[in-house]
Amino acid sequence: MIQTVNAKINIGLNVVGRRADGYHELSTVFYPIGLFSGTPYSPWPFSDIIEITPIPEEKDHRFLFTGNPIDCPLHKNLVWKAVDAFEKRYYEKMGCEMPAMNIHLEKHIPDGAGLGGGSADASFTLLMLDRLTGGHLGQEELFHLSATLGADCPFFIYNRPCLAEGIGDRITPLSIDLTGYWLVILKPPFAISTKEAFSGIVCRSDNSEKVFSESVLEWRDVLVNDFETHLFEKYPVLLHLKKDLYDGGADYAQMSGSGSAVYGIFSSIDQAGKVWEKWRATEGYYSAIMRL
């Protein structure tokens, strides 16, 4: 089984409180991106690829990672964690071991960018394993299992526009539709870890629900990413990228998640293309353009 794996952007991101266990309460809108990667609508590749094949004659799973380098031990990789979590839950429910699997991840979505690539890989792995083993867990159980892997993971089980609250484990599907818009993603040559992003965060009141009642052109004055305040001070280039997207004609621009990617939503492909062309040749920078 082969599956392309899309990413996400955050539309507004408010940190609304801190729980007793140390985790932060969030309110944000997740929107899937890269769904048309490799098609005439978005011919430039922007997705990971996972291939999983049962190898019942083997005892142990095999893992192969290609594409972008993955700089962490195998047992800390989210795909490995997803396989481990699924295997344990499968045994608890079915009373037997699942077949050994050959798992190949080809990585293209940039890491440390706030685009949820690692979380998407984990959730898509869970979904694929369930299909390959008979569908005994189902969407709801996979949703809860994914929440044990990471805050963004539950969204990718649904993989449709959603309001995410709590630590990302309270998901409400939305009817928001950006079909016809164009997205430009710009990422400087550095990543921002979740730990670094949260180290300087200041909790504030929530306003993400306003996304439903405002047009894209009005989001600029309504929807904010709370991480931008301190991360823009530490990394001024992020503010520069956001300003350049607006100067280039974006209807809305924001840093996605905890960074370091900044995106712009454009109604004009010509304007989007000009901004993308400007940055695609800049050494060390990652840029992408795609239809939403």
**Catalytic site residues?**
8, 152
- Tokens matching residue 174: 């939305």
* Residue that is written with structure tokens 């180290």 in the block: 199
Amino acid, single-letter form, for residue 238: L
Whole-number Å distance between alpha carbons of 78 and 162: 22
Instruction: State residue 81 phi and psi, 5-degree precision.
Output: -65, -35
Rounded (5°) CA angle 56-60-62: 95
What 3 state SS string does the chain have?
A: CEEEECEEEEEEEEEEEECCCCCEEEEEEEEEECCCECECCECCCCCEEEEEEECCCCCCCEEEEEECCCCCCHHHCHHHHHHHHHHHHHHHHHCCCCCCEEEEEEECCCCCCCCCHHHHHHHHHHHHHHHHCCCCCHHHHHHHHHHCCCCCHHHHHHCCCEEEEECCCEEEECCCCCCCCEEEEEECCCCCCHHHHHHCCCCCCCCHHHHHCCCHHHHHHCCCECCHHHHHHHCHHHHHHHHHHHHCCCCEEEECCCCCCEEEEECCHHHHHHHHHHHHCCCCCEEEEEEC
